[in-house]
Structure formats: structure tokens, C-alpha cells
Amino acid sequence: MKVLLLGATGGVGSHLLRASVAAGHDVRVLVRDATALETSDEVDVVVGDATTPSHMAEAVAGRDVVLNAVGSRNFRMPVELEVGRVLLPALAEAGVGRLIVCSAFGVGDSERDAGAMQKMFFHSVLGRVYAAKEVADAEVRASDLDWTLVYPTRLTDGPATGDLVVAERLPAGASTKVARADVARFMLAQLGDDTWSRRTAVVTGAQG
């Protein structure tokens, strides 16, 4: 499948890059700095800015699906909404219908299942980022795309376990952390599965 990966140099994105290439997909990435990629073998690299319409249009052209793993490194200046507002028109113009987005648990309605300390953290440290994600996700939901929004709980750098809990709401008593590698595997699996089409998937580890 012809895949465009956004956020390929980030935590989840770097796992997605490796997994996509290993699965034999035709992978293209849009990055500001190609030297920051963990691997560029068998990858079509477009150097540019995901908030620039012309760069996004070049990257989206000819793709079947977009995996959006963009995450803000500067919590005071989130980019998720700006990227989304460049990406959605580019998808429409290119005729690309499938979009899988890595958002975050605690965004929007998922906050209701968070603990008190989590909510405090979401509104303080992550306040601007989560506000941007909430609007960006709402605009994806309002689109005609075949979208899946992935809401991982607290991300860790541990190895993939393959043992996940996936639901529309975080189950009571479930783990509150998940490996980035497992989130990447779940996102990639959606390329051939419509179970979570036009749905939001809260993803967490099976073990506490």
C-alpha cells in the first residue's frame, strides 16, 4: 500500500516507519530534516514542512493512506491543528480517503475516564496541546474521510508486547500506559482492517 507517514522522526512515528517498511509498504515521509530519520532505506523522502500547503500536496499525491503521528515537541506552540488544516484539504484535492491519526487519551470526551491527577496534568502542562488536538480531531470527524482516531494512554519506550486493550472508552481498572511500539503496530494494522473505521480507539496495555 502507498503510505504517507507524518511525524516519522517522533516516538510513535519512528516505530511506524520501521514497521511500515518491514511490512513491505511503499512508504513516503514528509520531514523537515532527512538526517533525523532513523532509516531512509526504501523510503521516499519529501523534505518540507507539514504546515505548508505546497509541501503537503507534494507528499500526499499518489498515496492510498496517511498515517499522522505528528506530535508537538513545544507544548506552548502546538502544531496539530495547523497540520490538520493543511492536511485535510490536501487529502480532498488528491483524492486520498483513508486517514489514521495518533491523538491522545484525555483529549475531548476521553477525559471523562481519566483520573484526577491525569486531568490536572492534561489541563496544566498539556493544556494547549490537548486543546489543539481536540479541535483537530473534531475537524477530522466532521470530514467525509475514512478516518480512525487512535487515543493511546501514557506512552512508554518499552518493547512491543502485542497485548493491548482497545475500546471506545478506557475500561475500568485497565492499564494507563502503553508502549509506543504497540501503538504503531495497531495503527499499521488498520490499513487492512475497517473495524475502527470512523471510530475513536482508546489503546492501552493489557497489563497494569
User: What's the whole-number mean pLDDT along residues 93-120?
Assistant: 96
Mean model confidence pLDDT for the chain: 95
* CA proximity to 87, closest of 99, 74, 103: 99
- As its CATH architecture, domain 2-205 has 3-Layer(aba) Sandwich (3.40)
The pLDDT, as a whole number, for residue 73 is 83
Model confidence pLDDT, tens digit, residues 128-186: 999 999 999 999 999 999 999 999 999 999 899 999 999 999 998 889 999 999 999 99
Model confidence pLDDT, tens digit, residues 177-186: 999 999 999 9
The pLDDT, as a whole number, for residue 39 is 73
CB-based contact 141:149 (threshold 8 Å): yes
At residue 208 the predicted structure's pLDDT band, cuts being 50, 70 and 90, is low
User: What's the whole-number mean pLDDT along residues 49-73?
Assistant: 97
What are the φ/ψ torsions at residue 104 (nearest 5 degrees)?
A: -165, 140
Instruction: Give the span between the Cα atoms of 169 and 112, in whole angstroms.
Output: 9
How do the domains of the chain map onto residue ranges? 2-205
- Using the 8-state DSSP alphabet, how is residue 30 labeled? E
Sign of the dihedral through C-alpha 46, 2, 86, 140 = negative
User: How large a percentage of the chain has pLDDT more than 70?
Assistant: 99
Least confident range of 48-52, 101-105, 203-207 = 203-207
pTM of the model: 0.95
User: What's the whole-number mean pLDDT along residues 24-28?
Assistant: 97
